[in-house]
Amino acid sequence: MKDQQAMIPLDQYHEYPPDTMRQRAAGFLADMQRRRSVRDFSDRPVPRDVIENCIRAAGTAPSGANKQPWFFVAVSDPAVKRQIREAAEAEEREFYARRAPQDWLDDLQHLGTDWQKPFLETAPTLIVIFAQRYGLLPDGRKTKHYYVPESVGITTGMLITAVHHAGLVSLTHTPSPMDFLTRILKRPDNERPFLILVVGYPAEGVQVPDIGKKPLDEIATFI
Segment near ligand IYR (CB under 6 A); pick from 5-13, 47-55, 139-147, 169-177: 169-177
Q: Which of 108, 136, 154, 166 binds ligand IYR (CB under 6 A)?
A: 108
In sequence order, what are the residues at sequence separation of 6 or more whose Cβ sits closer than 8 angstroms to the Cβ of residue 155? 58, 59, 61, 63, 70, 129
CB 120 to ligand IYR: min, Å:
10
User: How far, in Å, are 50, 57, 125 from residue 47 at the CA level?
Assistant: 5, 16, 10
# residues near ligand IYR by CB under 6 A = 9
Q: Which amino acid is at 123?
A: A
Q: Compute the distance between CA of residue 203 and CA of residue 38 in angstroms, rounded to an integer.
A: 9
Residues 6+ away with beta carbon under 8 Å from 83: 184
Q: Give yes or no for residue 207 binding ligand IYR (CB under 6 A).
A: no
Nearest approach, Cβ of residue 187 and ligand IYR (Å): 20
37 binds ligand IYR (CB under 6 A): no
| Residue among 39, 38, 16 at smallest CA distance from 28 | 16
Does 92 help bind ligand IYR (rule: CB under 6 A)? yes
Select 135 or 153, whichever has its Cβ closest to ligand IYR.
153
Nearer to ligand IYR, 40 or 92 (CB): 92
State the nearest-atom distance from the C-beta of 175 to ligand IYR, in Å.
Answer: 5
Q: Does 206 bind ligand IYR (CB under 6 A)?
A: no
DSSP state for residue 5 in the 8-state scheme: P
Q: What is the enclosing helix (H) or strand (E) of 130?
A: strand 125-132
Q: Nearest residue to ligand IYR, using CB?
A: 113
Angle at CA of residue 184, ends 180 and 186, nearest 5°: 110
Q: Which is nearer to ligand IYR, 31 or 106 (CB)?
A: 106
Residues in contact with ligand IYR by the rule CB under 6 A: 92, 95, 108, 111, 113, 173-176
